[in-house]
Amino acid sequence: MQFTMRRRLVATSIAVALGATTLAACSSDSDGKDAAGSGPVSLTYWAWAPGMDKVAALWNKGPGKEAGIQVTVKKQASGDELVTKIITAAKAKKAPDLVQAEYQAIPTLVSNDVLADITDDTKGAKDKFAPGIWQQVTLGTDSAYAIPQDSGPLMFYYREDLFKKYKLSVPTTWDEFAETARKLKKADSSKALTTFSANDSGLFAGLAQQAGAKWWTAEGQKWKVAIDDAATKKVADFWGGLVEEGAVDNQPMYTPAWNKALNTGKQIAWVSAVWAPGVLTTAAPDTAGKWAMAPLPQWTKGENTTGSWGGSSTGITNDSQHKEAAAKFATWLNTDEEALAAMVKDGGIYPAATAAQTGGALSKAPGFFSDQPDFYTKAAEIAKTTAPSAWGPNVNVAYTTFKDSFGKAAKAKKQSQFGSALASMQDDTVADLKKQGFEVAE
């Protein structure tokens, strides 16, 4: 299929265009044997999650041995580095059989003919996941290009002891959140409820997702980019306003100064994801047992929706000569009780499969939240409310512009610059799509 044709069809008929290409190029095995039918299938899996080799060993000794399918894990870096590496490998026809792909990278990998349409080989998996999670591996089509592995539903974390000290109520709406920030600042100007950080684009994307944003969608045979839509503008204006009035801090996360602010109680709350306890354990060790978790504030009182920050899936490449065998492993990996328990224990992930989000390895709250025994029960309920996302083939460009433009806006403490930063994200993303050969709806 020609390059330009792929660019046009990826927006609307990925399942037909790329699926047909896959079937024409490679035939799937049906019984776990290799192409010659002489022995067990050997699969290679590129992944970065810790302990994935231990999980694969369980497969190799159990169901994999029975099916004649053995998996070797090759540890990789995550993020853009892995995306670049696997696209390069695919162009040389040397991609692995399976790859751990972050949700926002899936459109990029599909449009570059890296990921195969695995719909027929993963029937029955859809019901194992929340609709908003499953949607991230389908790109809004009826086809599946990966199986969800872990997720990062957004939540609100706060210092329970300091909320009591300053007589603050846990905000259930964003308006209440803003009032809480102002009330704290009035009571003690040395403290801040939280900070707006521009060094991790994923949090902002998740907040926009909760507000109803769909940054990339398909219109006919074109991509529609709406990063500067009304929902995202509402989020940008909200945080820009709080930064300008000084109700929240404007410093980036994951710095020594940020760690100190959390550890000393200078910053008493954090909008984060389900994996936050692990970060707090390192960043604020002196505060163990003093935090609590609650659902994310809502834009309208009574609503019940969250966004997501992070998460990944298991995809199968078009280069694989054993797609059916690879799909069997990927399905087991992300839906089997033993596999999921091992990933929680050895990889520290929060599984995307709804059945694994409580009980078993998650039956006990994180040590950092020892005073909230229902932590994972509450987290599972929140995860079910994850809003659909809408990723496109050049998320990396949008994220890079966010860090630069919103970083400058936060430093300047000007709400108007937050709007300008959003416009820059929109313009840069559209320009890059056109440069790559995609058709873009104006």
Mean pLDDT along residues 401-424:
97
Average pLDDT over residues 262-266: 98
110 pLDDT more than 70: yes
Instruction: Summarize the confidence of residues 351-358 as an average pLDDT.
Output: 93
CA 58, CA 337: separation in Å to the nearest integer?
12
Per-residue pLDDT, 251 = 95
Phi, psi of 83 (to 5 degrees): -60, -45
| pLDDT confidence of residue 231 | 98
pLDDT digits (tens, 9 = 90+) for 214-237: 999 988 889 999 999 999 999 999
pLDDT at 17 over 50: no
Q: Do the bridges between strand 269-273 and strand 69-75 make them parallel or antiparallel, or are there none, so unpaired?
A: unpaired
pTM: 0.88
Q: Is the dihedral of CA 135, 136, 138, 141 positive or negative?
A: positive
Confidence of residue 345 (pLDDT cuts 50, 70, 90): confident
**For the residues 27-35, what does the mean pLDDT come to?**
43
Q: With 60 as the cut, is the pLDDT of residue 91 above it?
A: yes
Tokens in use for 351?
Answer: 């599984």
* pLDDT tens per residue across span 296-335: 999 999 999 999 999 999 999 999 999 999 999 999 999 9
Q: For residues 55-59, give the mean pLDDT.
A: 97
Q: How confident is the model at residue 23 (pLDDT cuts 50, 70, 90)?
A: very low
pLDDT digits (tens, 9 = 90+) for 173-201: 999 999 999 999 999 999 999 999 999 99
Contact (Cβ atoms closer than 8 angstroms) between residue 216 and residue 391: yes
Q: Could you tell me whether strands 222-225 and 440-441 are parallel, antiparallel, or unpaired per DSSP bridges?
A: parallel
Would you place residue 18 in the very low, low, confident or very high pLDDT band (cuts 50, 70, 90)? Answer: very low
> Residues 100-126: what's their mean pLDDT?
94
Range scoring the smallest mean pLDDT among 112-121, 343-352, 399-408: 343-352
Q: What is the pLDDT of residue 38?
A: 53
pLDDT value at 25 more than 50: no
User: Would you say residue 424 has pLDDT above 80?
Assistant: yes
Mean pLDDT of the chain: 90
Tell me what percent of the residues of the chain surpass a pLDDT of 90.
Answer: 83
**Which of 137-146, 151-160, 416-425 bottoms out in mean pLDDT, i.e. has the lowest?**
137-146
* pLDDT-based confidence at residue 7 (cuts at 50, 70, 90): very low
In 3D, which of 11, 40, 6, 18 has the Cα closest to residue 316? 18
CA–CA gap between residue 43 and residue 259 (Å, rounded): 41
Q: Is 33 exposed, middle or buried (0-12, 13-18, 19+ CB in 10 A)?
A: middle
Please work out, in degrees rounded to the nearest 5, the angle formed at the alpha carbon of residue 30 by the alpha carbons of 27 and 32.
110
Is the pLDDT at 35 greater than 60, yes or no?
Answer: no
